[in-house]
């Protein structure tokens, strides 16, 4: 393999890894604040792409479509928490997880009826030819994907570490009872976590739609990969989610380069099984065993 080929695979891995990192951050935020896995996260990804495609088809400027899709999906994430999960919060973790699966099916079915069964195309954020770097061709949209993922991760990390909202979210991730004793509105924090998870998923879906197109049924596969990335990095740890996302993207590219593209999608399943058996706490996580 030449150096240009290797760089091409690395660039592809970083692009996919950026998407997986955004998805993994969504899983991590919800898990850290509730202790459950939100299986509707993949549908937030789907909504991001489909809402942008619908807006563009209606003649709305692309930038406004992306911002609107992220905001609308964040609102839907809040509604999922407020209308479906909060009334059943005393039912136990397994029941809540099943409710998220039901929400996923409902959102997917609604999208099919609203947008139709066909694939939708979204124009690239920046027109132009691919950039040639050391012999490798880098699509401008790939730079958008990576840049948006890095910016979102940096902003979320800043909120998580340096604001009162972030402090409340960290307190809820340790103990809801203790957080309530010191005056934190835990219900509002959980709803905020779902809203942010929706925004991150929609941003990932909107950013990658110009590369892969989008459809009502793209959420499940991306949800699985985002979950694998979150587990690989350490579920509940934002830094681990970013590390896991990029690691999974590079592992997939490695599989394509050295084995076959046929097995690319199987990498996430292999990672899931390997992490659960060998290191359930992930690369940087420490408390997964206790939470589960």
Q: According to the model, what pLDDT value does residue 128 have?
A: 78
Q: According to the model, what pLDDT value does residue 112 have?
A: 94
Q: Which tokens is 269 given?
A: 């399943």
Residues of the chain with pLDDT under 50: 288-292
Distances (CA, A) of 286 to 6, 42, 121, 279: 33, 25, 41, 10
Q: Which tokens is 98 given?
A: 């099943």
Buried residues in 69-95 as b, exposed as e (16+ CB within 10 A): bbebbbebbbebbeebbeeebeeeeee
3-class DSSP assignment, residue 78: helix
Q: According to the model, what pLDDT value does residue 291 have?
A: 44
Q: According to the model, what pLDDT value does residue 286 have?
A: 59
Q: According to the model, what pLDDT value does residue 101 have?
A: 94
3-class DSSP assignment, residue 264: coil
Return the sign of the alpha-carbon dihedral for residues 65, 66, 71, 77.
positive
User: pTM for this structure?
Assistant: 0.89
Q: According to the model, what pLDDT value does residue 277 have?
A: 80
């Amino acid at each position: 393999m030449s150096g240009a080929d290797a760089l091409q695979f690395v660039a592809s891995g970083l692009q996919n890894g950026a998407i997986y990192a955004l998805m993994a951050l969504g899983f991590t935020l919800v898990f850290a604040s509730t202790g459950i896995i939100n299986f509707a996260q993949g549908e937030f990804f789907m909504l991001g792409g489909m809402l942008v495609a619908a807006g563009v088809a209606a003649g709305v400027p692309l930038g406004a479509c992306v911002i609107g899709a992220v905001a609308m999906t964040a609102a839907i994430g809040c509604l999922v928490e407020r209308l479906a999960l909060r009334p059943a919060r005393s039912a136990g973790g397994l029941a809540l997880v099943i409710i998220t699966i039901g929400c996923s099916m409902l959102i997917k079915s609604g999208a099919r009826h609203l947008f139709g069964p066909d694939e939708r195309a979204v124009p690239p954020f920046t027109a132009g030819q691919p950039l040639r770097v050391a012999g490798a061709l880098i699509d401008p949209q790939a730079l958008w994907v990576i840049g948006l993922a890095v910016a979102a991760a940096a902003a979320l990390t800043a909120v998580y570490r340096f604001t009162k909202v972030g402090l409340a979210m960290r307190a809820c991730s340790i103990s809801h009872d203790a957080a309530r004793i010191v005056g934190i509105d835990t219900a509002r924090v959980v709803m905020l976590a779902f809203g942010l998870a929706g925004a991150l998923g929609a941003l990932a879906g909107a950013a990658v739609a110009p590369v892969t197109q989008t459809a009502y049924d793209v959420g499940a596969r991306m949800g699985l990969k985002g979950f694998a990335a979150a587990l690989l990095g350490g579920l509940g740890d934002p830094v681990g989610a970013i590390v896991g996302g990029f690691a999974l993207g590079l592992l997939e590219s490695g599989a394509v380069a050295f084995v076959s593209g046929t097995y690319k999608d199987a990498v996430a399943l292999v990672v899931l099984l390997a992490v659960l058996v060998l290191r359930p706490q992930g690369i940087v996580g420490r408390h997964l065993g206790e939470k589960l």
